[in-house]
Amino acid sequence: MVPNVDSYNRKITYLRVSVTDRCNLRCIYCTPVKNLKLLDHADILSYEEILKVIRVATELGINKVRLTGGEPLHRRNFTHLVESVCLIPRIEDVSITTNGVFLKEMARPLFEAGVHRINVSLDTLNPLKYTKLTRRECFDAVGEGIQVAETGGFSPIKVNVVGIRGLNDDELLRFADFSVRKPYHIRFIEYMPIGRDLNWTTEKYVSSDEMKSKLKTFGPLLKIPPSIHDGPAERYRFESAKGEIGFISALSHHFCPSCNRIRLTADGKLRPCLFADDEVDIKSPLRNGYGHEHLKKVFQQAIARKPRRHHAEILEKREGLRPMSTIGG
């Protein structure tokens, strides 16, 4: 058996690590305010434990890591973790997904720690809407943070935008204009039915095809040929634009056949599929003193449990699914 090939012959090379379940924002579609159960600190993997899992993963063929959360920059000494991950042999690509609120102070230390690619989540370019959406007044901080990241050399800077009807679907052309003026990669993400109590409905869902056809009224979308760092995004740019536009169509165009990902939650569960609550506990063996070889087997079990395809269509009716803030996106 090839260590990182799953039951459907997909090679798993990409680990997304949620370093905390805490976030300083309360995005209405991501983090519930009612019944938000935070993990006890003791249940969250320490940096040493996270590093151990990543090292094990590299021996199985993982070469790409994304650090996410909760809000990763919210965790104390996050830069130290980044530095250590960047130094792990066989890790070729490290990136971060952040809400950008602390980037103004942290972009430079993070860059020096070795990470040069960053995704900043920003669903609206309207400050009032931002406050409504995130339940916090941090719009200016994010703008300044992105600017500092840009001057500090981060490239690419990707801006994650979850398209939600009635919330930001009227801003698509503003984002188009943003991509023309700024060298950022705007990534439109389809709103996914994840997390109980978060009121996902089909009415709020906007397919990437719909977003694309609205964006075409701004100007012709020129296709960008795929490159190795693309993941599932379909990429375009407007003529003379400094930046680009991408679509991540997790629901409308399944990319499961090419899925190369596995996730590690902040409480030490390996999650084979974003959309399924099936998880493999790696924290207990870690804390019970099991060695490297055993941890490798646990990791392989998680790879083997990746389903052929996701079943997001049934999630709406299910109980118990973790909110995205605890999985990391």
Residue closer to ligand SAM (CB basis): 55 or 116: 116
Q: How many residues bind ligand SAM (CB under 6 A)?
A: 20
Q: 144-183 burial, b for 16+ CB within 10 Å, e for fewer? A: bbbebbbebebebbbbbbbbbeebbeebbeebbbbbbebe
- In sequence order, what are the beta bridge partners of 159? 120, 186
Q: How many CA atoms lie within 13 A of 169 on its CB side?
A: 18
Find the shortest distance in angstroms from Cβ 134 to ligand SAM.
9
Instruction: Give the residue from 61, 104, 58 showing the smallest Cα distance to 84.
Output: 58
Residue closer to ligand SAM (CB basis): 4 or 124: 124
Helix axes 292-304, 47-59, angle to 10 degrees: 70
Find the shortest distance in angstroms from Cβ 254 to ligand SAM.
15
Q: Residue 29, interface with ligand SAM (CB under 6 A)?
A: yes
Taking CB under 6 A as the criterion, which residues in 65-84 touch ligand SAM? 68-69, 71
| Backbone φ and ψ of 82, nearest 5° | -60, -45
> For residue 24, how many other CB atoms are within 10 A of its CB?
15
Contact 264, 22 (CB under 8 A): no
Q: x/- binding map, residues 164-203, to ligand SAM, per CB under 6 A?
A: -------------------------x-xx-x---------
Binding ligand SAM (rule: CB under 6 A), the pick from 12, 15, 19, 30 is 30
Q: Residue 328, interface with ligand SAM (CB under 6 A)?
A: yes
Q: Residue 99, interface with ligand SAM (CB under 6 A)?
A: yes
* Two tokens, residue 121: 């989540």
Residue closer to ligand SAM (CB basis): 68 or 265: 68
Binding ligand SAM (rule: CB under 6 A), the pick from 79, 95, 121, 208 is 121
Find the shortest distance in angstroms from Cβ 7 to ligand SAM.
26
Binding ligand SAM (rule: CB under 6 A), the pick from 79, 160, 179, 249 is 160
Find the shortest distance in angstroms from Cβ 23 to ligand SAM.
5
- Cis ω on the peptide bond leading into residue 156 (within 30° of 0)? yes
Residue nearest to ligand SAM (CB): 329
Tokens 């003791």, residue?
42
Q: Residue 149, interface with ligand SAM (CB under 6 A)?
A: no
Find the shortest distance in angstroms from Cβ 162 to ligand SAM.
4
Residue 97 CA to residue 119 CA, distance in Å, equals: 5
Taking CB under 6 A as the criterion, which residues in 208-247 touch ligand SAM? none
Residue 244 CA to residue 233 CA, distance in Å, equals: 11
CA 318 to chain centre: 22
Residue 266 CA to residue 19 CA, distance in Å, equals: 5
Site for ligand SAM, rule CB under 6 A: 23, 29-30, 68-69, 71, 97-99, 121, 160, 162, 189, 191-192, 194, 324-325, 328-329
